[in-house]
Amino acid sequence: MQVGAEITLSFSARETSAEGTQQGSLDHRIDAAIRMLNGTADGQVDLVFSEEHSLSGSGSKTYDLAGALTAAIGGSTLTFVDICAILLINADSDADLTIGPAASNGCVSFWADASDRVRCGRAASSARPSIVLLYDDSGYTVTAGTGDGITVAETAGAACTYQIAFLGRTA
């Protein structure tokens, strides 16, 4: 299986003022495009997993990155050795999601310690979802059996459906 990936981000805002000597406008723009070819070196990936998943109110799901996820094509077991990117999208206006290391065998990777969480709050609407993107070109080590779990939890007591994706490497 060959994997290639692209992450494209664009931020745009316009600031205007009609007051005193500070009249005018200023455009703020930041663009980033990250392309990862197939491979196991820094800046490359050879594993991808994504899904849309539903949680009950206050429910959670733990993703075992080393041996419990299944490839969409071919059905083989995915074993991440490095995790390079995590994308979580919450399009539900009633649900608050968090993502972080699992309580048992947590993959700390993007977090300072096992108790850290990143909040993916309530969406304004399905057209304006909450998004968490974590990316590191060189990746973080996934340790099978002791540091391979990442948990998504709903914390507002509302059932929800979210989308998640992982990009990484086998070596």
pLDDT, tens digit (0-9, with 9 covering 90-100), for 51-77: 999 999 999 999 999 999 999 999 999
* Any domain includes 96: yes
Spatial separation of the C-alpha atoms in residues 167 and 13, rounded to whole Å = 29
Q: Find the range with the poorest average confidence among 44-48, 124-128, 148-152.
A: 124-128
Residue 22: band (very low, low, confident or very high) from pLDDT cuts 50, 70, 90: confident
Q: What domain count does the chain have?
A: 1
Q: Whole-angstrom Cα distance, residue 74 to residue 48?
A: 13
pLDDT higher than threshold 80 for residue 83: yes
Mean pLDDT of 12-27: 88
What is the percentage of the chain residues whose pLDDT exceeds 70? 100
Pairing outcome for strands 118-120 and 130-141: unpaired
Confidence of residue 122 (pLDDT cuts 50, 70, 90): confident
pLDDT tens digits, residue range 92-120? 888 999 999 999 999 999 999 999 999 99
Answer yes or no: is 26 within a domain: no
Please give the residue range of the domain that contains residue 128.
Answer: 39-169
For 35, other C-beta atoms within 10 Å of its C-beta total: 11
pLDDT at position 21 is 77
| CATH code assigned at 55 | 2.60.120
User: Mean pLDDT, to the nearest integer, of 159-171?
Assistant: 96
Q: How confident is the model at residue 127, as a pLDDT?
A: 78
The string over 92-101, giving b where at least 16 C-beta atoms fall within 10 Å of a residue's C-beta and e elsewhere, is: beebbbbbbb
Task: Report whether 93 contacts 125 (CB < 8 A).
Answer: yes
Is residue 123 in a domain? yes
- The closest alpha carbon to 162, from 79, 98, 73, belongs to 98
In a domain, 11, yes or no: no
- Segment 86-90 shows an average pLDDT of 97
Mean pLDDT of 23-43: 95
